[in-house]
A and B are shown apart, each in its own frame.
Chain A
Amino acid sequence: MRCDKIREMMPDLASGLMGASPEIGGHLAACGACAGKLEEFRRTMELLEEWQAPEPSPYFDVRLQARLREEIAKPQAGWLAWFRRPVLAAALTVLMAVGVGLFFTRSGGIYKSGDDEIAVVESQAQSAEPGTAVSDLQALEKNHDLYSDFDLLDDLEVQHDVVANP
């Protein structure tokens, strides 16, 4: 057996993951270079042993369960998830309202000044006609509250499971 073959196996030989076959043993007994290197590898491996990793903290499971519940509670990972974020939904509502508002004010000829424009936009946003994009967004925003409650229910159910099956 050649030295380079032995060296290839050295990480496993030195860590004890592999036992020395008679053939390897024979080479090591005859080749001082390989035997010396193996011994050095062994000591290096032993030294590396000192770097211990901590156990998972007591919060690991609790935190993972919480993250998993969030995962399960997601209705679907599609576009609807966007509307579950209140800030995004609100921002979209305002954006749409501005667009709709501008459209109405400009086409209706009631566009006067910057300040008035904002007032009109706000009134549009608050009382959108049913069936418009704005009302759809407002409905979705209300649904968001509904989804939040679903999350809460899921939480309760899981907590119940935890108690029932510790």
Chain B
Amino acid sequence: MDRGVLMASLGPRPAGGMQSAMAGGESYTDAEVMLRVKAGDQSAFDFLVQKYRRPLVSFMYRMARNTAAAEDLAQEVFLRVYRSRQTYEASAKFTTWLYRIATNLAVNHARDTRKERPEVMVSLDEPDEETGTTMDVADHTITAEEGLVRRERLAAIRGKVEALPERQKLAVIMHKYQQMEYKQIAEVLKLSESATKSLLFRAYETLREQLKEFV
């Protein structure tokens, strides 16, 4: 159950001691692995880090808008998981717990930095070393003009997702980019499933309306 769809985005990564201890691989749920962390098994923790580092960095990247902060926040999630190992209860689904920690951190970070940077502009002139350029470089067939159009489109996507009300933004990022199910998003956001459905519908409806010139 805990493995969920998140596994789909994770390549097969060797995870040292835990891997060999698991003998055959997929026999433990994340909750069970976390209980081994609780019991003092360091390799179980490494296993969880390897499994969730990529999804968490990408989640934080979309919430925090920059790579350095995203990595810092993702690390902070793991540190909090480690710190809370003694109080972890397997009653909660591991990924729900993980994303609740991540969500709290991301929201607090956004609040803290909003004061420093009242308005974050997505500039078209300044190259986006994180996504824009790598995309352009990867595709040698596109012209400079196409590159500019693409960058403008990307800036619009980022801008519109970021401009959504906080809960809608979180729901879209979890649904669209983390491929999480309604039920789980509902659990992380502490909403009912039907409230989550209508939250997501409203969010996508806004994005559809505001991005229609690009589709």
Chain A residues with a Cβ under 8 A of chain B: 7-12, 14-15, 17, 40-41, 43-48, 50-57, 59-61, 63-64, 67-68, 71, 165
Contacts and interface: CB of A to CB of B under 8 A. Distances in A.
Interface in B73-111: 74-75, 78-79, 82-83
Nearest to A74: B83
Contacts of B200: 11
B184 to A, nearest CB: 12
3 nearest A-B pairs in the assembled complex, by CB-CB distance: A53-B58, A43-B215, A44-B208
Given A60-B75, A63-B71, A47 B57 contact: no
Q: Contact size class for B?
A: 35 or more
15 contacts: A8-B194, A11-B201, A47-B157, A48-B157, A50-B153, A50-B157, A51-B154, A51-B157, A54-B58, A56-B54, A56-B71, A56-B74, A60-B53, A63-B71, A165-B17
Interface in B155-177: 157-158, 161, 172, 175-177
Nearest to B58: A53
Contacts of A165: 16-17
A164 to B, nearest CB: 11
B14 to A, nearest CB: 10
Contact of B79 (A15, A44, A53, A68): A68
Given A11-B197, A52-B135, A53-B177, 16 more contacts: A10-B201, A10-B204, A15-B176, A17-B181, A44-B208, A50-B153, A50-B157, A51-B62, A51-B154, A51-B161, A53-B62, A55-B57, A60-B75, A63-B71, A68-B79, A71-B82
Contact of A67 (B70, B75, B150): B75
B19 to A, nearest CB: 11
A47 B153 contact: yes
A35 to B, nearest CB: 15
B41 interface: no
Nearest to B198: A8
A50 B62 CA distance: 13
A109 to B, nearest CB: 53
Nearest to B53: A56
Contacts of B194: 8
Interface string B23-64: 000000000000000000000000001000110011001100
A77 to B, nearest CB: 8
B123 to A, nearest CB: 16
A54 B131 CA distance: 7
A10 B131 CA distance: 28
A7 B58 CA distance: 28
Nearest to A165: B16
A123 B16 CA distance: 57
A64 B49 CA distance: 9
Given A8-B194, A48-B157, A57-B71, A68 B61 contact: no
Contacts of A63: 71, 75
